[in-house]
Structures are given as structure tokens and as C-alpha cells.
């Protein structure tokens, strides 16, 4: 009988702990993408054009800060078929993103040579 009481008490404690760990904090979230929002998964790999409509690179990655805000975008410039690429970064705010039919059009100021002149970007090794 003492053993049964111990098991019931232990089970109650486990259930109480599980119930408290399942609480999810309330937050407001949108349930649909707005027309002026862009999926980062669609931006990565996108070609980047300048004002003369020249392809000057492509988006290699998008870097987020710890608070979730966009920090910078890493561009791949100067390579051919993935060989000899140079990675450079710029503030995400330097890009102008718009819809072009079913795809995205990404533009920024500058030339391929001005991007190549930027310092190499080094990814953090985790």
C-alpha cells in the first residue's frame, strides 16, 4: 500500500511538471504573408542587379541578429559556376526587393567591380 501511494504521488508530480512545461507564451503572429513581405528562402540564390540591369552577384545568405532583426546580406560575386566566388556583405537595407511576376527582383547600387573591391566576408564556424 505504501508503495502504491508513492507511485501515485510520483505520477502526480510528473504530470504536474509536464503540464507546466507545456504552456506556450502568447504572442501575436500573422497567419498569412503580406504582399510587401518576402520569404528569405526565396531570396537566397536570387540574382542581384544594378540600376543598369546588369547581374552583379547573387544572394548567398542572409544574416540575422540575435533579436531576429535582419543584419546583413552576403553576396557571391565574381565566380563562374560556383568556382572562384568571393563573398562580400552589405546591409540588407541596401537592397531593393520587388516582385517580378512570380519571382523576386533584387537590386542595389554599384557595379560588380565595386562589390569585388569590398573586403571578403568570413562566415562564423559553429
Q: Where are the domains of the chain?
A: 40-116
Architecture per CATH, 40-116: Roll (2.30)
pLDDT exceeds cutoff 90 at 120: yes
For residues 75 and 6, give the distance between their C-alpha atoms in angstroms, rounded to a whole number.
62
Q: What is the pLDDT of residues 62-95, one digit of tens each?
A: 999 999 888 899 999 987 666 778 999 999 999 9
Which set of grid coordinates corresponds to residue 67? 533579436
For residues 70 and 63, give the distance between their C-alpha atoms in angstroms, rounded to a whole number.
6
Q: What is the pLDDT of residues 5-14, one digit of tens each?
A: 555 555 555 5
pLDDT score at 48? 95
Q: pTM for the complete prediction?
A: 0.71
Q: Got the DSSP string for 56-71?
A: EEEEEEEEE-TTS-EE
Burial grade of 27 (CB within 10 A; 0-12, 13-18, 19 or more): exposed
Nearest to 44 by CA among 3, 73, 72: 73
Amino acid at each position: 500500500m505504501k508503495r502504491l501511494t508513492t507511485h501515485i504521488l510520483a505520477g502526480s508530480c510528473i504530470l504536474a511538471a509536464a503540464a507546466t512545461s507545456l504552456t506556450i507564451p502568447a504572442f501575436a503572429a500573422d497567419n498569412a504573408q503580406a504582399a510587401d513581405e518576402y520569404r528569405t528562402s526565396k531570396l537566397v540564390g536570387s540574382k542581384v542587379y544594378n540600376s543598369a540591369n546588369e547581374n552583379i552577384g547573387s544572394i548567398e545568405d542572409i544574416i540575422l541578429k540575435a533579436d531576429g532583426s535582419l543584419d546583413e546580406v552576403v553576396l557571391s560575386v565574381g565566380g563562374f559556376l560556383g568556382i572562384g566566388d568571393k563573398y562580400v556583405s552589405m546591409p540588407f537595407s541596401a537592397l531593393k526587393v520587388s516582385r517580378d511576376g512570380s519571382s523576386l527582383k533584387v537590386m542595389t547600387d554599384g557595379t560588380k567591380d565595386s562589390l569585388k573591391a569590398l573586403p571578403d566576408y568570413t562566415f562564423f564556424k559553429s
